[in-house]
Amino acid sequence: MRVDEAGLTNLRLLRGDAVDLLRECVPPGSLAAIRIFFPDPWPKRRHHKRRLVQPPFVALAASRLAPGGVLHLATDWAHYAAEMLAACVGEPLLENTSAADDGWTPRPAARPETKFERRAGLEGRDVRDLVFRRFPSPHTFTH
């Protein structure tokens, strides 16, 4: 209803599994950005395989980004954050935009604060942001 009220015509809402939607509904190289804030951390070790941000998903996401497109991730679970960083660093289509030695990006002011982020602060967990950019072409790397 808010989309209609605002008169937006450049927005599409899809309901379903993110992996299936990216694979089946989004053409390669068509997105300017993918933002995933506080995905389910599946904290129990036996459930880690259910986490969204893993190497196969990062490869799919990177393939759907246009050259120069951004993949922005945020989580408050330290172990998951490390896995996200490793998955993104391991994807040859992506480069980390962070200048920090640890690879994390300071919280961008444009990222909306979520209830998960507020809860993490109350519980003493640090929030980590990652911002990666799609290389201009698969064979162009900057150093």
> Which residues form the catalytic set?
40
Q: Which positions ≥6 away from 46 have C-beta within 8 Å? A: none
| pLDDT digit string, tens, across residues 20-68 | 999 999 999 999 999 999 999 998 989 999 999 999 999 999 999 999 9
Domain ranges of the chain: 2-134
pLDDT reading at 140 higher than 80: no
| pLDDT digit string, tens, across residues 98-118 | 999 999 999 999 999 999 999
Q: What CA–CA distance (Å, rounded) separates 117 from 112? A: 9
**Quick one: pLDDT at residue 1?**
85
Task: Supply the pTM of this predicted model.
Answer: 0.86
pLDDT reading at 142 higher than 70: no
φ, ψ for residue 34 (rounded to 5)?
-130, 125
2-134: in CATH 3.40.50.150 = yes
Residue 36's CB is within 10 A of a number of other CB atoms, namely 17
